[in-house]
Structure 1
Amino acid sequence: MDRTSETSRTAGPDRPGAPARAAGHDEPAIGTARRKRRRVVLPLVLVAAVGGAAALGATRPWDRGSSAPGQPALGHGTVAVERGSLSSGIQVAGALAYDASTPVVASGRGTFTALPAVGSVVKAGGRLYEVDGLPVVLMTGERPLWRDLGPGVEDGPDVRQLKRNLVALGHADGLGLAVDEKYTAGTAVAVKRWQKALGVKQTGKVAFGSVVMVPQRAVRVDEVGVRLGAPVGAAEALTVSGTDLVAVVQPAENQLSRFKPDGKVEVRLAEGGTVQGRIRSLIRGGGGDGGADSGGGRQKTVVTVVLDDQRAARRAGPSSVTVDVVGDTATDALVVPVTALLALDGGGYGVNVVTGTTTRLVKVRLGLVADARAQITGDVKSGDRVVIPT
Structure 2
Amino acid sequence: MGETTAERAPAKEEGRRARRRRPRFKIALAVAAIIAVGGVATVAAFGSGGGDGGGRATGLPPSTTKVAKQTLSDAQTEDGQLGYGPTLTATNQTKGTITKLPESGDVITRGHRLYEVDGDPVVLMYGSKPSYRPLQAGTEGSDVERFEKNLSALGYDGFTVDDEYTSDTAEAVREWQDDIGVAETGIVDVGRVAYANGPVRIESVAANPGEPAAPGKKMLEYTGTTQAVTVELDTADQRLAKKGARVEVTLPQNRTITAEIDEVTTVIEPAEQGADPTTKVEVTIWLDSAKAKKAAAAYALASVDVEFTAGERKDVLTVPVSALVALSEGGFGVEVVKGATSSYVAVETGMFADGKVEITGAGIAEGTLVGVPK
TM over 0.5: yes
Q: Secondary structure at the match of 2:298?
A: helix
Q: Indicate the residue corresponding to 2:296 in structure 1.
A: 313
How far is 1:226 from its partner?
0.2
Match of 1:164 in 2: 149
The correspondence of residues 287-326 of structure 1 with structure 2, limited to 5 A, is 287=268, 289-290=269-270, 297=277, 299-307=279-287, 308=289, 309-326=292-309
Paired AA for residue 120 in structure 1: D
- Provide the secondary structure at the position in 2 that maps to 1:229: coil
Is the CA contact (8 Å cut-off) linking 1:226 and 1:238 kept in structure 2? yes
Pair 298,201 (structure 1): closer, same or farther in 2 beyond 3 Å: closer
For the Cα contact (< 8 Å) 1:364–1:378, is it kept in 2? no
- After superposition, the C-alpha distances for 1:329-376 in whole angstroms (9 at most, x for unaligned) are 67898763x3453224576533699x9xx9978869767521444468
Equivalent residue in structure 1 for 2:325, among 342, 345, 363: 342
> Does residue 229 of structure 1 match 2:210?
yes
- Deviation of 1:206 after TM superposition, in Å, equals 2.8
Q: Return the match for 1:98 from 75, 80, 84.
A: 84
User: Are the equivalent residues in 1 in contact too, given 2:40–2:322 (CA < 8 A)?
Assistant: no
SS of aligned partner of 2:36? coil
- Residue 279 of structure 2 aligns to a residue in which SS? coil
Q: Is the 2:100–2:116 Cα contact (8 Å) retained in structure 1?
A: yes
Does the aligned pair in 2 maintain the 1:344–1:350 contact within 8 Å?
no
Structure number with the higher helix fraction is 2
DSSP 3-state at the match of 2:99: strand
TM-score (norm 1): 0.66
Any unmatched runs of 5+ in structure 2? 1-21, 42-61, 360-365
Q: Of 249, 259, 265, which aligns to 1:277?
A: 259
Partner of 1:120: 106
CA gap of 1:61–1:352, structure 2 versus 1, over 3 A, is farther
The correspondence for 2:201, drawn from 201, 220, 227, is 220
Provide TM-score, normalisation by structure 2.
0.68
Superposed displacement of residue 136, structure 1: 1.5
Larger Rg belongs to: 1
Give the C-alpha shift of residue 266 in structure 1. 2.0
Letter in 2 for 1:59: A
Q: Which amino acid aligns with 1:273?
A: R
| Identical columns (%) | 31
CA distance in structure 2 between the aligned counterparts of 1:303 and 1:189, rounded to whole angstroms: 44
Secondary structure of 1:228's aligned partner: coil
Alignment gaps of 5+ in structure 1: 1-46, 65-77
| Secondary structure, counterpart of 1:135 in structure 2 | strand
User: Does the CA-based 8 Å contact 2:97-2:210 persist in structure 1?
Assistant: yes
Q: Return 141-150 or 162-171, whichever deviates more.
A: 141-150
SS in 1 for 2:130: coil
RMSD: 4.0
The answer (yes or no) to whether the contact 1:221–1:240 under 8 Å persists in 2 is: yes
> Take 1:51 and 1:363, find their aligned partners in 2: how far apart are those partners?
24
Counterpart of 2:241 in structure 1 is 259
Instruction: Give, in whole Å, the separation in 2 of the partners of 1:314 and 1:378.
Output: 48
